[in-house]
Amino acid sequence: MKIKDKVVLVTGSTRGIGKAIGDRLCKLGAIVYFNSLNSKDEGIKLQAELKQHGLNASYIDGDVSSEREVRKIFETINREQGRLDILVNNAGIYRQDSIDCDNYFKIHKLNGYGYFLCTLFASQMMETGKIINISSIYGVEPDKDSILASGVKAEVEAYTRAFAKKLKGKVEVNSVAPGYTETSLLRESLSQEFIDNIVKNTPIGRLVKPEEIADAVIFVIESDGLTGQTVVVDGGYTL
């Protein structure tokens, strides 16, 4: 697939990994829709900055775990562009393990059901296309200290393969599984001592950069021979 002039939706994309992916796609000539729920001001600012550089960027706020709001997002793209070529499911939250049932439902509704909803609506719009799910090394190798995150990312991995089977011959569905990545979310969620230990046990000697995750997404989009696969980008941490 050639990325230039393709219509793209990247969910959860006003910062971190999602922002890096959307930015890279814009620079490659795609028509990119950025999305978030709780950072509308950041999204509008990002749209303006990219447009100033001659890039085709738009911002849509919306909760991807709400069927009503997901329908609105896809109706907007369909009305403005008449098609969707690429979906990158990235929106998500991270919460520490807890026996609180509300905590469980919140993480699974956004990080799991949200991916399911967006993929379902995207597949109904696409004649052909690419869907990339941003998973995690937790979905490939569950972590004993992050069981909720491991469970929801395993859910994402299952959706990737199930939708790849369902949509085969029409839409290629793959996932990219980041390791520990240098983002504000990671810094907010983990102690410096924990991060230092991660770096110590990572062969490249540092955290993965968001731009390296974006590189992997571009590779998967451009590689027509991949479907139902997971590309791990973790600096060798899981070796």
CATH number at residue 223: 3.40.50.720
DSSP codes of every residue in the chain:
---TT-EEEESS-SSHHHHHHHHHHHHTT-EEEEEESS-HHHHHHHHHHHHHTT--EEEEE--TT-HHHHHHHHHHHHHHHS---EEEE---------S-HHHHHHHHIIIIIHHHHHHHHHHHH-SSEEEEEE--HHHHS--TT-HHHHHHHHHHHHHHHHHHHHTTTTEEEEEEEE-SB--HHHHHHS-HHHHHHHHHTSTTSSPBPHHHHHHHHHHHHH-TT--S-EEEESTTTT-
Q: What is the pLDDT of residue 181?
A: 96
Over residues 185-211, the pLDDT tens digits come to 888 888 999 999 999 999 999 999 999
Residue 160 has pLDDT above 70, yes or no: yes
Q: Is residue 128 part of a domain?
A: yes
Q: Is residue 213 part of a domain?
A: yes
Q: Is residue 199 part of a domain?
A: no
Q: Is residue 238 part of a domain?
A: no
Over residues 21-57, the pLDDT tens digits come to 999 999 999 999 999 998 889 999 999 999 999 999 9
Q: Is residue 189 part of a domain?
A: no
Q: Is residue 216 part of a domain?
A: yes
Average pLDDT over residues 131-146: 93
Over residues 10-26, the pLDDT tens digits come to 999 999 999 999 999 99
Domain total in the chain:
1
Q: Is residue 228 part of a domain?
A: yes
Q: What is the pLDDT of residue 108?
A: 87
Residue 97 has pLDDT above 80, yes or no: no
Q: Is residue 89 part of a domain?
A: yes
For residue 109, give its domain range: 7-182+209-232
